[in-house]
Amino acid sequence: MLYFCPMNNNNIDEAAQIIKKGGLVAFPTETVYGLGANALNPMAVAKIFELKERPSFDPLIIHIASYDDLKALSTEVNEKIMALAKHFWPGPLTIVMPKSSIVPEIVTSGLDTVGIRMPNNPIALELITKAGCPIAAPSANKFGQLSPVNAHHVKKQLPDVDYILDGGNTSVGIESTIVSIDGDICHLLRPGFITIDDIEKALPDTFVFDIAKPEKLVSPGLLKSHYSPKKPLYILNDSIRRLPANSGLILHGRNNQLYSAEKIIYTSETHDKIEITAHLFDSLHKMEEDESVKNIFIEPVEEKGLGIAIMDRVKKAAYQYNNSSL
Ligand code: AMP
Ligand code: MG
């Protein structure tokens, strides 16, 4: 395994060479770390599914660094898609659109659409540019487990990856918002850092927003259980009076004095939703790694604005334990 210091261009060169040769590189984006391969090389993309143990029905997002790539990857970059891209890219918005024939089936799991985004991270953009190809990348973790927000989290879950670019902690901390455009309607396929309000403000007259209620699985980000730690995770509620021994407690502000626990992690001092988002996965990783912690409890946040994406991840991480009693 190779490591390098973030701002060393030679090492981005080295990582780009690995992508060119069909290898896998874990790299930072502003959301979470991605596990990248040349999106146009089906054999390289197959290695992502193998290393992640990701089911083949779960399509990958393609990361680009230029609008030329966008036009090459899709047959229909219409005005609405362009307006969304221009407003939010580089940034944590993935847009699902009709795919062109150069996109291998394995990337889209056989769908005729492809999810594309331009990440807002200089290392990611330079890697894509130097590799000379768009990069398909899901989160750099084993399927269903916690998303990685630093290089240590990647190494823990994917020790056999060819190369890890270490860019420190990611700034946003949860996965991108995913949308698709259907005529005048923009469907939210996965909530993320960019909220419905943000999108409505950016394009006030053009779109109606709606959380998609797909009959078929259009986005595995909609799976009920995902992003899970390897220990029971419970969401605090009024019926929980006190916590069992060896509990880890994740709180979002200093004002919650109701519970005592072996270990407490604060994602924010003041219930600031941007801070909570940035520290959410890291707090779960820390609880997962702490041997003194047997059960993890987490405070919920109000499901408004960015709180919708935070609670989406929390509920999926806690899904197996949400309805069971202690
Ligand atoms: P991950 O990067 O592991 O968080 O997963 C990428 C997410 O993007 C998954 O939930 C995919 O289902 C979603 N996605 C990628 N491509 C498409 C597509 N063509 N249609 C719908 N969802 C997609
Ligand atoms: Mg993921």
Task: Give the CATH number for residue 264.
Answer: 3.40.50.11030
Q: How far is the CA of 256 from the centre of ligand 2 (A)?
A: 31
Last-in-domain residue among 211, 241, 270: 211
- Identify whether 326 is part of a domain: no
Look at the chain and report how many structural domains it folds into.
Answer: 2
Residues 163 and 267 reside in one and the same domain: no
Residues 143 and 290 reside in one and the same domain: no
- Identify whether 223 is part of a domain: no
Residues 128 and 198 reside in one and the same domain: yes
- pLDDT above 80 (res 317): yes
Residues 192 and 257 reside in one and the same domain: no
Least confident of 2-6, 77-81, 264-268: 2-6
- Identify whether 220 is part of a domain: no
Peptide bond into 59 cis (omega under 30): no
Residues 144 and 14 reside in one and the same domain: yes
Binding site membership of 139 for ligand 1 (Cβ less than 6 Å): yes
Binding site membership of 178 for ligand 1 (Cβ less than 6 Å): yes
Residues 268 and 185 reside in one and the same domain: no
Q: How far is the CA of 137 from the centre of ligand 2 (A)?
A: 9
Least confident of 108-122, 212-226, 264-278, 307-321: 212-226
Collapsed DSSP state (helix, strand, coil) of residue 96: strand
Q: Residue 94: nearest ligand to its CA?
A: 1
- Identify whether 222 is part of a domain: no
Q: Residue 35: nearest ligand to its CA?
A: 1
* Ligand 1: residue whose CA is nearest its atom 16: 115
Binding site membership of 96 for ligand 1 (Cβ less than 6 Å): yes
The pLDDT assigned to 1 comes to 42
Domain with 297, as residue range(s), is: 233-321
Asked whether 35 and 26 are in contact (CB, 8 A), the reply is yes
The pLDDT assigned to 217 comes to 46
Q: What is the C-alpha to C-alpha distance for residues 167 and 282, in angstroms, rounded to an integer? A: 15
Average pLDDT over every residue of 117-146 = 97
> In the beta sheet, which residues pair with residue 192?
none
Binding site membership of 189 for ligand 1 (Cβ less than 6 Å): yes
Its pTM stands at 0.88
- Identify whether 226 is part of a domain: no
CATH number for the domain spanning 29: value is 3.90.870.10
Residues 207 and 238 reside in one and the same domain: no
- pLDDT above 50 (res 142): yes
Tell me which of 96, 97, 216 to substitute to probe ligand 1's pocket, judged by most ligand atoms within 8 Å of the beta carbon: 96
Last-in-domain residue among 211, 246, 275: 211
Binding site membership of 173 for ligand 1 (Cβ less than 6 Å): no
Q: How far is the CA of 245 from the centre of ligand 2 (A)?
A: 31
